Structure 1
Amino acid sequence: MPTQGRYKKILVPWDGSGWGRRAIPHAMDIALANESELVILYVFRPPGTEYADQISLAGQEGQINQLRHGVEQNLTGVANELRNQGIKVRTLILESTGVASAICDFVRDEDVDLVVMSTHGRTGIARFLFGSVAAKVMEEVKVPVLLVHPDRE
């Protein structure tokens, strides 16, 4: 929890999408106002693990490395934009089949003071099938969570 209302470390879990990126300006404003460190976290879920916790990915190393390289380039670009605004920023890629649990573990292990993340606005069957990472994070973590809806900026 922040000392005297000050957020020292802000986490932005980002899935690389345009929707996910909508959380970044909000986190940037808060980071500038609080002189916070901004951590942009990408949880890399290997292809083919959407419905299984363990799966053999033999022969897919090239594809996985290519995807990971693309993620690294995106994170570097976003981090450079933020640094140009005077924000202390760190990027991190974690590999996990459980995106929400990886985010929650990071919040606990790294003493994060605030989570700023986008929702995808899934409803109905899509939400049932894929779940809501944002809802799971809100339920699990003990720090404030700011959610940015996809229809708002």
Structure 2
Amino acid sequence: MFKKKILVPLDEAKQSREILTVIQQLFRPEDSHVLLLQVVSPEIEALAMPPAHAAMEWTPAMYSYLQSFQELEHEHLVERQKYLKTNLVASITQEATPLVNKGYQVTPVVRFGEPIQQIETYIQEARVDLVAMVTHAREGIGRLLFGSVAGALVHDLSVPILLLHPKPEGSNHQKG
């Protein structure tokens, strides 16, 4: 019997982990393979200007400087990503301990790039059966400025999506 692959996109917000309780309530460990995916967005790096940046035309020396700078930056970025990935996998593995202790098969995954694109690509690569995630409950200008990963996935995906809308912090009331 094949286990259903349940993808849980995580981010730095603690709220994104609330869906793990729901997964335990709805899916049996022997039937489920939980994929915990955290996508790290690329940083916006400041572009260092080569010498004589005010010149009207770039000289070969300026192009050479820029290329060597980019190569150094790439090496630094690769090392930073390795370090970050190692730490995130360890953190996700630790967070998954309660699921593993209950018999769930859990795989931590870390990707780098634009979150929506990385999630959609991973869904296809891993042949995910269900996406389970928490919305961030942004409204108004916050939603406009930051977008909605959940909203984009709902429109783009053909796999089922389980969305959990979190309670506001400090709130014990339920909507009627």
Both proteins in one fold, TM over 0.5: yes
Identity %: 31
Match of 2:143 among 121, 127, 146: 127
Match of 1:94 among 95, 111, 128: 111
Shift in Å, 1:133: 0.2
1:34 and 1:63 map into 2 onto residues whose CA distance is 37
1:127 and 1:138 map into 2 onto residues whose CA distance is 15
Match of 2:128 among 95, 105, 112: 112
Residue equivalent to 1:3: none
| 2:16 is the counterpart of 1:20 | yes
2:107 and 2:7 map into 1 onto residues whose CA distance is 10
1:105 and 1:60 map into 2 onto residues whose CA distance is 22
Match of 2:34 among 19, 34, 38: 38
Match of 1:146 among 134, 143, 162: 162
2:3 and 2:144 map into 1 onto residues whose CA distance is 33
Query: Normalising by structure 1, what TM-score?
Result: 0.78
Change (3 A) 1:7 1:134: farther
1:17 and 1:90 map into 2 onto residues whose CA distance is 19
Change (3 A) 1:9 1:60: closer
Structure 1 unmatched runs, 5+: 1-5, 50-55
Shift in Å, 1:69: 4.5
Give CA deviations for 1:51-82 in whole Å, capped at 9, x if unaligned: xxxxx793667765664444223201122221
Change (3 A) 1:33 1:90: closer
Structure 2 unmatched runs, 5+: 46-69
Query: Normalising by structure 2, what TM-score?
Result: 0.69
Residue equivalent to 1:84: 101
Any runs of at least 4 consecutive aligned residues in structure 1 with deviations exceeding 3 A, and if so which? 59-70
> Which deviates further from its counterpart, 142-151 or 30-39?
30-39
**How many residue pairs are counted as aligned between the two chains?**
142
Shift in Å, 1:30: 3.1
Shift in Å, 1:130: 1.1
Change (3 A) 1:94 1:63: closer
Of structures 1 and 2, the larger Rg is shown by 2
